[in-house]
Structure 1
Amino acid sequence: LSFMMENLTKPVIFTGSQLPIGLLRTDGRENLITSIEIAAARENEAPVVPEVCIYFDNKLTRGNRTTKMSAEHFDAFSSPNYPPLAEAGLHLKFNYNHIKYPKEAKKLIVHKTFDNNVAILKLFPGINRNFVQAVMRTEGLRALIIETFGSGNAPTYRWFLDDIKGFIRDGGIIFNVTQCHGGSVEMGLYETSREMLAAGVVSGKDITSEASVTKLMHLLGKYKNNKDVLKHLSKSLSGEMS
């Protein structure tokens, strides 16, 4: 939604519960009540948090910076690369310096066209060429997110680099995103990522895998020319990357 709603000036807060709201120990009631309170919070006649957010277990986080970490615990969501926008205790404490405020009031633009010809390739030790090529040769595929090791590293097999170059040469886009929950891709830091950088692979920096998928779907739906997609892919559109 953060990519769909350009020039957003109002809070959009997602919440839920790990236990159904009808159960005695549910976390749903507190999550819902505090979400409403945050959404209604105003200062100087303006919303305090004009962003797409997730509220869970006493923390408000930016939606496109957040990933689900647990199916078991109440603190199910985490924003490892960006601080919470607010924290709830006896009082609501807003982290104003980390909230994204519009520089000027503009008309809301809702982008409804998304292109889902995007795939994720998660690297693993021993990955073979047949598997990689099966993904890259998916009919209609326009962009591939590669989940790499550490700070953006990948196998140095000659065939792997050749297939990356071939995919890009044939009009595809490759986005390098780390498998790690925290930290950032730094292409060129180690030899294993230098050739990927030279081939035209785009660094995802500290973006989450979830945000990388929706960002690419949004950009591919908005622009038909790869040059326009690439121009915006490495930039922060809605605070999703540093």
Structure 2
Amino acid sequence: MSDKKPNILLVYTGGTIGMVKDAETGALHAFNFNNLLKQIPELKLLDCKIETTSFKNPIDSSNMNPEYWVQIVDTIERYYDAFDGFVVLHGSDTMSYTASAISFMLENLSKPVVFTGAQLPIGDLRTDAKENLITSIQIASLQENNVPIIKEVCLYFEYKLYRGNRTTKINAEHFQAFNSLNYPYLAESGVHLKVKHEYLLRPTLNSTFKVHRKLDNNIALLKLFPGITPSYLNNVLNTPNLKALILETYGSGNCTTDTWFLEALKEAISNNIHIINVTQCVGGGVNMGQYETSNHLKHIGVISGKDMTTESAIAKTMYLLGKLESPELFKNKFEIPLRGEIA
């Protein structure tokens, strides 16, 4: 049995976790990850080797976009053979969007990619950054018979590891900022680190690792509300170059049955605009046809997002559009799990 220590690469994109506070002025400035072991000596206790790389210009996660997602997968591909696991440090505001996107962009992934961040800077007295970072590295280095235990894109925050494309940020103040309401957490950190093996993604390991970079963001997101007007819906549907509309409906996929609403969607679908139905509820999913108010959507060809998060639906739509799928193939691919994003 080999005693080779796992190699873990930290990829810093930006965000609160990478900030330290000047003790005298109180001002925040970017953390120098080359001095990581000096700042967090506890990392020396981990049974792995750690190297770091960073975006040339780290960004606030509010500025995250598909171009930065490509930078992340470029980095992972560049170092894929040299490292056993990856920890991506990212601002929490858009972390669920990024984790979802990266899960689709990395096909046949056989190593862990763990996203983490913090609500407080790493140098703050009450920071959550150290625990999130240390445990994320520990999770990324977990192996059995020299093979990584985790083989998917995950998100670790406040003692729990989640499937990345199942997460949503639910709180801007508490340390428990994320949740995965439609899929169980994958691991929990306490006195012991407990992995729930039965919920881990099991990829086909004889398939070649492949990176997808082409994303198409000619999409729109529309949240239904009582009183929505025809002009509002039509303005969204008439967006130049629009290829898909993600519709956040009520409950289990319900919407108004007003003729103008359904006719507008029907016309959009006839013009090859994909209409995708996800629920605006944080838990549960779409079940078109359960009620009359969703049966109309099913009849005109609206695509079911099932129990997918909005973040994951956006990422999956960009990914599938980037593959230039035919309308029929797009619908078929969207409604089946590609990376464990739906049941």
Q: TM-score, normalised by structure 2?
A: 0.70
Q: 1:15 aligns with which of 93, 111, 116?
A: 116
Post-superposition offset of 1:224: 4.4
Distance in 1 (CA, whole Å) between partners of 2:298 and 2:330 is: 17
1:148 counterpart letter in structure 2: T
Give runs of aligned pairs for residues 136-215 of structure 1, distance below 5 A.
136-215=237-316
Give runs of aligned pairs for residues 226-237 of structure 1, distance below 5 A.
226-237=327-338
Post-superposition offset of 1:43: 0.9
1:200 counterpart letter in structure 2: G
Q: 2:147 aligns with which of 31, 46, 57?
A: 46
1:142 counterpart letter in structure 2: K
1:90 aligns with 2:191: yes
Between 1 and 2, higher relative CO (CA 8 Å, sep ≥ 6) is seen in: 1
Post-superposition offset of 1:223: 1.9
1:37 aligns with 2:145: no
Q: 2:159 aligns with which of 48, 58, 66?
A: 58
Distance in 1 (CA, whole Å) between partners of 2:127 and 2:241 is: 44
Distance in 2 (CA, whole Å) between partners of 1:141 and 1:154 is: 21
Q: Match of 1:111?
A: 212
RMSD over aligned Cα, in angstroms? 0.8
Post-superposition offset of 1:170: 0.9
Q: Which segment drifts farther, 96-105 or 146-155?
A: 96-105
Distance in 2 (CA, whole Å) between partners of 1:137 and 1:103 is: 41
1:90 counterpart letter in structure 2: V
1:38 counterpart letter in structure 2: I
Could you tell me which runs of 5 or more consecutive residues in structure 1 were left unpaired when the two chains were aligned. none
SS of the aligned residue for 1:2 comes to: helix
SS of the aligned residue for 2:103 comes to: coil
Q: Which segment drifts farther, 96-105 or 51-60?
A: 96-105
Post-superposition offset of 1:227: 2.0
Runs of 4+ in 1 over 2 A off after TM superposition: none
Could you tell me which runs of 5 or more consecutive residues in structure 2 were left unpaired when the two chains were aligned. 1-101
Q: TM-score, normalised by structure 1?
A: 0.98
1:100 aligns with 2:184: no
1:216 aligns with 2:322: no
Q: Which segment drifts farther, 148-157 or 102-111?
A: 102-111
Distance in 2 (CA, whole Å) between partners of 1:178 and 1:60 is: 24
Distance in 1 (CA, whole Å) between partners of 2:282 and 2:217 is: 24
Give 1 or 2 for the bigger CA radius of gyration.
Answer: 2
